[in-house]
Chains A and B, each alone.
Chain A
Amino acid sequence: MSEQRNSFLEQVQSQIKSKEARAFVSAELHHHLNEVKNYWLQKGISEDQAEEKAVTQMGNPISIGQNLNRIHRPKVDWMTLILFAAALFLGFLPLLFQGNIANHHFSTYKVVFIIMGGMLALIMMFIDYRKLANKGWLFYLLGTLLLLFLTKNFNTFTEGQFVFKVGPLKIEGLMTIPFFFLAWAGFFQSNRFKMWKFLLLFVLSLYFFLEFSLTTLFIYVIMTFTMIWWSKLNKKKIAIVLGSVFALVATWGVIGWMTVAYYQKKRLLSFINPYNSEEYFDLSKVHHLFMDAGWFGKHLLVDQMIPQANTNFVFLSFTYYYGWLFAAILFLVLSLVFVRIAFIAKRIGDSYTKLLLVGVMIIYTIQLVGHVGMIVGFFPMTNMSLPFISYGLMPVLLNAFLIGIVLSIYRRKDLLSTSTVHANQQ
């Protein structure tokens, strides 16, 4: 490369802020200069003269660079950020109605959790998610190791779940979902990924997930089965595999049903049809309290009436205290997050990015629909937390991570069609 060309390209690049844009703008101009140079060489002038002509024909590097910078400036998705902040802010409201304001720990922790969540989302925004595409194996390994660690090293056992507790921190199986999410997105975008590999890896991970709560397992399975539709695997094959998995589970269920003890049957029945159960706090009570709330709520402290009022039943206690109107607004804000992500996903063609957004949407939706659905009464009893609102570090971090991925994608969405240039240059 001649000195003249070098200094021209450097001057253009010096005006462009985005590192990614710099690389592909320079590659494109480089190619153009080569073409022009070839043209002049064919006309029979010397190498040096051709090079000089090519560069001067380009025009003023500073103004080109400035204009391109305006186009390729990294973008912040204010819409998602505002919705994220609004949801986190709404997450403070449940604290007000529990008389827990007196309990300083509780609100201090909540503030700390939210700050950590916000920081995680911002850090994720600055990470170039495209660099994670070929690290599927790494994430799979990390996820599996974490699951293994949790099953071997748990020190608390709550509600039939392994939990690793360090001070106020609880590390649950839910923590591994982001790792497997990145792992599957990485695997599915690859052309070389085969069905037998999927089955092997899926069954292996499932074996570990079975040790954890049904909710985590449910999120994991739905996430994987949704993402696989956007993979490069043959659609027919996917349908056959998923069909046989469901058939297998169904047969296992039927055989299991005939062999389990009476009390186990009863438990299962109450899970499917909760209105017949005799548990202390069942779905009929939930439904009753929900209908009782009215449009403007009862404004009564609810922690006596509702167990887990700030985690698993937060939407119920929220509704009971503030009423249906406020509950509808809360639901609307949380749904808008989904709508916003869907809007971004619609305009993106890149397969890895699409897989990530599909994964984000499904993980988010399961939680939202699962939690609200349970309380409104069409979803079985689970311990699904309401995104951003439920108390607890793990759920906040999980959803902050999802938002961070969306912000990172939005920031680079206009560079997508050109991402192949990196491979060409190196």
Chain B
Amino acid sequence: MDKRLKNLKKTMNREVFAQLKFTENHKKSIREKIKQETHSDEEILIAIMQLLLQKKTGYQLISLLQSRGILNFKENEGSLYVILHRLELRSLLTSSWQEDGAKFYQLNKKGRKLLKKVEEQPLSNHLSFKEILEG
């Protein structure tokens, strides 16, 4: 085992890491990741649901989340659609397409009920929340 892995580090340095540079961009993204961790998944989900009390597209939603200081979707905007589709699959959202190809989401009755419940007792409803977050 030891023998086989002996040259790994050397080879990695030569082959892989030679092409990799630690740029300013990387530094920035790491800093941002650290900053982001101030928001828990539950908080983000509650924010999304609150914002979807009115009809919105994914794009509108992201800019509103960012203005609330939630930066989790920066450089990762696609993952918002994963959450939106999950909410839709659990029939917490209704969606409608418009002529120009925009898809609008809005919380329905079931979604509003869940939001109210979670807002009132933030810690009691983690189970259904976890399902949505983890798929």
A residues in contact (CB < 8 Å) with B: 12, 24-25, 27-32, 35-36, 56-61, 63-64, 67-68, 70-72, 347, 414, 417-418, 420-421, 424-425
Contact = CB atoms under 8 A, between A and B. Distances in A.
Given A64-B81, A421-B97, 9 more contacts: A31-B57, A31-B59, A35-B57, A57-B74, A58-B77, A58-B78, A59-B77, A59-B78, A63-B79
B82 A424 contact: no
Contacts of A425: 101
B97 A420 contact: yes
A59 B59 contact: no
8 contacts: A29-B81, A30-B101, A32-B81, A57-B77, A58-B78, A61-B78, A63-B79, A418-B97
Interface string B45-69: 0000000000001110000000000
B13 interface: no
A88 to B, nearest CB: 31
A417 B94 contact: yes
A10 B49 CA distance: 30
Contact of B103 (A60, A72, A418): A418
Contact of A417 (B58, B74, B82, B95): B95
Contacts of B97: 418, 420-421, 424
A421 B79 CA distance: 21
Listed residue (A27, A32, A417) with the most chain B CB atoms within 10 angstroms of its CB: A32
Nearest to B98: A424
Contacts of B135: 67, 70-71
A28 B103 contact: yes
A414 B89 contact: yes
Contacts of A57: 74-75, 77
Nearest to A59: B76
Given A56-B75, A67-B135, A424-B97, A36 B59 contact: yes
B103 A424 contact: no
Nearest to A54: B77
Interface string B69-95: 000001111110110011011010011
Contacts of A420: 97
Nearest to A27: B101
Contact of A71 (B59, B89, B100, B102): B89
Contact of A31 (B91, B96, B103): B103
B82 A71 contact: yes
B58 to A, nearest CB: 6
Contact of A35 (B59, B81, B82, B85): B59
A425 B76 CA distance: 26
A64 B82 contact: yes
B78 A29 contact: yes
B33 to A, nearest CB: 13
Contacts of A61: 78
A425 B89 CA distance: 23
Contacts of A24: 103
The 4 closest A-B pairs by CB, nearest first: A59-B76, A64-B78, A35-B59, A67-B82
A418 B95 contact: yes
B99 interface: yes
B31 to A, nearest CB: 17
B81 A28 contact: yes
A63 B76 CA distance: 10
Contact of B78 (A12, A70, A414): A12
Interface string B102-135: 1100000000000000000000000000000001
Contact of B79 (A56, A64, A418): A64
A36 B101 CA distance: 15
Nearest to A28: B103
Contacts of B59: 31-32, 35-36
Contacts of A60: 76, 78
Nearest to B63: A39
Contacts of A424: 97, 99, 101
Contacts of B102: 31
B79 A71 contact: no
B39 to A, nearest CB: 17
B95 A32 contact: no
Contacts of A56: 75
B34 to A, nearest CB: 18
B96 to A, nearest CB: 8
A130 to B, nearest CB: 15
